[in-house]
Amino acid sequence: MKEHEGSQLVISPIHLHDIGTRQLADELLLQLNEWNNVPMLYQLALEELQNKINVIKTELKQLNGYSPIEHIKVRIKEPKSILDKMKRKGCGLTVDNMLNQIHDIAGMRIVCAFVKDIYLLLEHFKQRSDIHVLEVKDYIKDPKPNGYQSLHIILAVPLILLEGTRWMKVEIQMRTLAMDFWASMEHILFYKYDKQVPAHVHTELKEASEAAYALDKKMLRIQKEILSNTTTSEPSLLSP
């Protein structure tokens, strides 16, 4: 999730020309105004989802004595990235295809204190009638070959608009602080080596990922020990 946060999805003939799409169908050009309405919908979807998550966060903090969420970042995918992805998927460059086949235009990253908090939030999402969980990819239980760990969720949230209710898709990536640190460093190294990372660096990154996971488990054990020795009047001391 490396797009510019808060970026605006404004599609114009210049953008399309820049990515090498020189001959577009006339019907696509006629849709430019509709394309330019898309960022508002996704921005509203992110705001709606963040409001729901803030309610969950407040309730869980009151219940458990600490906030399960360290921080949240959101972004709207860059126009060039959207169109490049549509071309890779081989789908026609239409607004309908963009809305139906590109699921990560709106992105949110939730960084949690502990691994268990990630799955706790997932269960809350599944139980809500105002959130539809469409797809889950668990790279925590089954990390990517390079060691990447995160829980990816595609969900839909309802927007109540003048024209009626419209469900908008958002991709959420949930990870711990240790996983987030690893992912940030891996991204920096990946581009430092111009995407050609030496084999020994791949090996060390995988080992670092395993160390991050071990750290997460150790911190969870420590938290459980602290909670078991803390009186009911003291949980707020664990809050950030």
Domain that holds residue 53: 13-238
Total domain count for the chain? 1
Write down the pLDDT at residue 240. 45
Is residue 64 in a domain?
yes
Write down the pLDDT at residue 19. 46
CA distance 237 to 223: 12
Is residue 167 in a domain?
yes
The CATH number that applies at residue 35 is 3.30.460.10
Is residue 208 in a domain?
yes
CA distance 181 to 178: 5
Write down the pLDDT at residue 3. 53
Straight-line distance from the first to the last Cα atom of the chain, in angstroms, rounded to the nearest whole number? 25
200: region left, alpha or beta (phi > 0 left; psi from -120 to 50 alpha): alpha
Q: Which residues of the chain carry a pLDDT beneath 70?
A: 1-34, 192-195, 230-240
Is residue 3 in a domain?
no
Write down the pLDDT at residue 27. 54
Write down the pLDDT at residue 164. 93
Task: Name the 3-class secondary structure at 48.
Answer: helix
Is residue 210 in a domain?
yes
Write down the pLDDT at residue 30. 57
CA distance 166 to 41: 9
Is residue 80 in a domain?
yes
Q: Considering only CA atoms, which of 91, 118, 112, 115 is closest in space to residue 103? A: 91
Write down the pLDDT at residue 83. 85
Is residue 6 in a domain?
no
Residue-wise pLDDT tens digits, 17-57: 544 454 454 555 556 666 777 889 999 999 999 999 999 99
Write down the pLDDT at residue 12. 53
Enzyme catalytic residues? 171
104-to-27, 59, 227 alpha-carbon distances in Å: 24, 28, 37
Is residue 7 in a domain?
no
pTM confidence score: 0.77
